[in-house]
Amino acid sequence: MQANECPVRIPHLILASASPRRAALLSQIGVTYDIHPSDAVEPPHNAYANKPASEVTQELALLKSSSVAQHYDNGLIIGADTLVALDGKLLGKPTDGAEALAMLTALSNTCHQVVTGVALIDASSGREQVWAETTQVYFRKLQNTEITAYIESGEPSDKAGAYGIQGRAAAFVRRIEGCYFNVVGLPLASLVEYLSDFQSKED
């Protein structure tokens, strides 16, 4: 096995996402994959007001992977969805700068949860594995000027909770409890465990 290869042998992995961060994470651990972004229409997050983030993210991840799986006779499809939860309120991607400002102001000086749901579907057998992982993220108190500067950088626009821990918002985070990669967009350790489980059942 070469140094950059993943120890789990996956014959054909399809990422049901256009997220460059999720693609980079898979590449980081040596997984080879194709990209087939989901065209599923996602309900607005406020439609899930009475559901916990873990349930919502799993439901959306399965929606994404299912929409792609129908195009394949074989292969393992992976879909994922990430939300930020603060006091029971779910935060998705901001629609504009004003919403990003509201989100970051609310997250300032808090402990909040970043929840990623993941759904794996074996296109040949229809077997599914769906789970969610939660990471606790602690923000320091943010100044209005730095929130404004961060929004002006354009970085918050496509990120749940209006921030990316792997980018400039790293300076906002005092500490985390749980998987760092989960905050970026994929819980790598649990993902590899489930991929290994799929492979072991095929051998």
List residues with catalytic annotation: 81
Identify which of 57, 160, 173, 49 has the alpha carbon closest to the alpha carbon of residue 111: 173
| CA–CA separation, 38 and 15 (whole Å) | 9
H helices of the chain, where?
Answer: 20-28, 53-69, 97-107, 144-152, 180-184, 188-202
Instruction: Compute φ and ψ for 57, nearest 5 degrees.
Output: -65, -35
Task: Name the amino acid, one letter, at 27.
Answer: S
Q: For residue 118, with 0-12 CB atoms within 10 Å meaning exposed, 13-18 middle and 19 or more buried, which class applies?
A: buried
Tokens for 146?
A: 């730095």
Q: Cα(56)–Cα(133) distance, rounded to whole angstroms?
A: 12
